[in-house]
Amino acid sequence: MKKLLVLPGDGIGPEIVTEALKVLDKVKEKFGLSVSVDEALLGGAAIDATGNPLPAETLDKAMSADALLMGAVGGPKWDHLETSKRPEKGLLGLRSSLNLFANLRPAILYPQLASASTLKPDVVSGLDILIVRELTGGIYFGEPRGIRTLENGERQGYNTYVYSESEIRRIGRVAFEAARKRGGRVCSVDKSNVLEVTVLWREIMEEVAKKYPDVELEHMYVDNAAMQLVRAPRQFDVMVTGNMFGDILSDCAAMLTGSIGMLPSASLDADNKGLYEPVHGSAPDIAGQGVANPLATILSLAMLLRYSFAEAEAAVAIEQAVSKVLDAGLRTADIWSDGLQKVSTQAMGDAVAAAI
């Protein structure tokens, strides 16, 4: 019996997670999977109920689960709180406590949705990039950090961007292993012409590369990487980078597809225990209206089955069901265009479940 912990979170989180669980029920039945489902509070929902974005009970359940499926966290309601008490802190605490250092963010253009991209079709058609982002280190977690008052009386804010060899090595390996199963190319993104921490990053990537003679390693400065994603995104296979650069570049890459409502992500520890979540946010502006796109969450469930539960067959079944539903012309509002059938969050979930 595998233990799944569900963290609906905030905004559209609860709605989209509900649809993913519908789909889980169908694949459990079809493939005879034995999965128990528990639920816990995270983010703003947890703040409202307990005052803490990551309550002890949630952390306990997370520790003993085999995998976690999250909706989304955060929203303007909690924007006045200080950084250390915000919904996001719950998510960051979870990533860190569970050692989920490897964040995999595919940016894939679904052929059925090609026209949704703001980029010209000949630039993005067939796009399939995997961004591997380090998730438990770098400037997100570096100490010292804070806001202090200088001798002259003015305040100064500071954070620390820090990586050790072993942190770089382990995320490097994840990227090279992934590249081996894909296009065989890794692009490591840094700013080694300015930042010492990324000089070490580049050096360790070179070292890791020696163990993967079948994989090609290229280095790119982060400013150039942002340009190249816009100029010629198909040049990339796997991109590997630190926490902050990965946050920026993965959102940029996701948006190239024009359908961020379709993109799942996985955050894994060294043993393939993972937290799975859509790339998009909590979209408080449309929460509760039944119009959110549940497909990124449903596809996150597919990643979960593949990586954490080693149920590749069930994962493929979900991915194929999503494809079928798109082929049939069903679209939530965010990916809808003239001539296609606009459906609600629930109807989309029902359709995918039915297509399993």
Ligand X SMILES: CC(C)[C@H](C(=O)O)[C@@H](O)C(=O)O
Q: Any contact of residue 218 with a second copy (CB under 8 A)?
A: no
Among 36, 64, 156, 320, binds a second copy (CB under 8 A): 156
For residue 221, indicate whether it is catalytic: no
Q: Using the rule CB under 6 A, is 74 a contact of ligand X?
A: yes
- Give one DSSP letter per residue of 224-283, joined into a string: HHHHHHHH-GGG-SEEEE-HHHHHHHHHHHHHHTT-GGG-EEEEE-TTS-EEEEESS---
Per the residue annotation, which of 22, 26, 89, 191 is the catalytic one?
Answer: 191
Q: HSE on the CB side for 245, CA within 13 Å?
A: 25
Which three-class secondary structure state does DSSP give residue 290?
coil
227 binds ligand X (CB under 6 A): no
Residue 307 engages a second copy in binding (rule: CB under 8 A) = no
Half-sphere exposure of 42 (CA within 13 A, CB side): 31
Helix (H) or strand (E) holding 5: strand 2-9
Residue 223 makes contact with ligand X by CB under 6 A: yes
Among 38, 57, 64, 194, binds a second copy (CB under 8 A): 194
Our answer to whether residue 223 is catalytic in this structure is: yes
82 is in an annotated binding site: yes
- The answer to whether 276 is a known catalytic residue is no
The one catalytic residue in 38, 60, 223, 327 is 223
Active-site entry in 66, 110, 140, 237: 140
- Taking the least distance from each CB to a second copy, the nearer of 155 and 210 is 155
Whether 341 has a binding-site annotation, put simply, is: no
87 annotated binding-site participant: yes
Q: Sort 346 into a burial class: Cβ within 10 Å, 0-12 / 13-18 / 19+.
A: middle
Q: Of the two residues 295 and 314, which places its CB atom closer to ligand X in the complex?
A: 295
Residues 6+ apart with CB under 8 A from 266: 103, 104, 274, 275, 276, 300, 303, 304, 307
Q: Is 281 annotated as a binding residue?
A: yes
Any catalytic annotation for residue 247? yes
Nearest residue (CB) to ligand X, 31 versus 141: 141
| Span 244-283, contacts to ligand X by CB under 6 A | 247
CB atoms within 10 A of CB 177: 15
Q: Is 74 in the site for a second copy (CB under 8 A)?
A: yes
Q: Which residues contact 159 (CB under 8 A, 6 or more apart)?
A: 139, 142, 145
Name which of 122 and 143 has its Cβ closer to ligand X. Answer: 143
Compute CA distances 69 → 12, 144, 316, whole Å.
14, 32, 18
The reply to whether 350 belongs to the active site is: no
The residues that are catalytic are 140, 191, 223, 247, 251
Residue numbers at the binding site for ligand X (CB under 6 A): 74, 88, 91-92, 193-194, 223, 247
Annotated binding site for substrate: 95, 105, 133, 223
